[in-house]
Structure 1
């Protein structure tokens, strides 16, 4: 195997690893979003249904 073949194999390996990393970053972003949603649900579950509705209205910008 000559140097150019080794170089091409190395480049292919690096591109494969980079692709795996991109996939992993996407997966972690998805997990992070799921955690955020669960955290919000846990936070809201400490309130009664009526309190949750008021809180959601406040978040939507209602003040009256």
Structure 2
């Protein structure tokens, strides 16, 4: 298992959390997504490390911006 933490900007409510969680969970191999709305931290657990471009695309699809990654 691999867990990486990202910072996503623009999330302000439960709907935001749901949209980002839904898009990230759809990525192959993702087993868990945990979001701290207060600071924009998104922890993604997956079977193998995810490509940053894939994570960025999923966050973009949800309508938000990936600001930083701390694998």
TM above 0.5, one fold? no
Higher strand share: 2
Higher helix share: 1
